[in-house]
Amino acid sequence: MDAGQPGANVNGQDRKFFDVFFMVLVILAGIAVGLFGLSRFVAAPVQTEWMQTDERLRAQVEERIRPIGRLVTDEAALEERGEVMEPAATVATTLTGPQVYNTACTSCHSAGIAGAPRTGDTAAWRERIAQGMDILYQHSIEGFLGEAGYMPPKGGRLDLSDEEIIAAVDFMIEEIG
């Protein structure tokens, strides 16, 4: 197209329009940001003072940050209010040999991890039983580091009683048949 035809200068006119339009938008955005900053600067002291002195607002804030409960450790104050409760009786439960085995022993003794004799492996258990049951119980309770591997004290479950560990050992020996 030559310069004399209609639409020949459209690309240049469009570019000029968009340049001016973009410049106007940038100037308006700058003015808006400046006015916002000025209003924050002017209103900040007034808003802070209002927030600190308005009783209704302070009551709302106090309500939102109020703790849900309160721990009272003064027994005399609790007795005075009639809120003393008797402590709950603890129920001691003793686990059976199979229960201890399933919760503490099976992870190593079912797969033979760290040299643990597998449950039901007659040959591996006969070697240990030959040392005497007292030694077997002692190694199970106190732990043992031998050539075949490592037995942690009480199988890593120090919360179990000695009797529960002995019951678990007896259960594993019964599984030999």
What are the domain boundaries of the chain? 11-89, 97-174
In this prediction, residues 72-86 reach a mean pLDDT of: 73
Of 83-87, 146-150, 165-169, least confident by mean pLDDT is 83-87
Confidence of residue 84 (pLDDT cuts 50, 70, 90): low
**Which one has a higher pLDDT value, 25 or 14?**
25
Cα(35)–Cα(29) distance, rounded to whole angstroms?
10
The share of the chain scoring above pLDDT 90, in percent, equals: 12
pLDDT in tens, 47-58: 777 777 888 888
pTM of the model: 0.49
In this prediction, residues 31-48 reach a mean pLDDT of: 88
Q: What is the pLDDT of residue 24?
A: 97
Q: What is the pLDDT of residue 22?
A: 95
In this prediction, residues 94-99 reach a mean pLDDT of: 85
Q: What is the pLDDT of residue 177?
A: 67
Q: Which CATH number is correct for 97-174, 1.10.760.10, 3.40.50.2300, 1.10.3720.10, 1.25.60.10?
A: 1.10.760.10
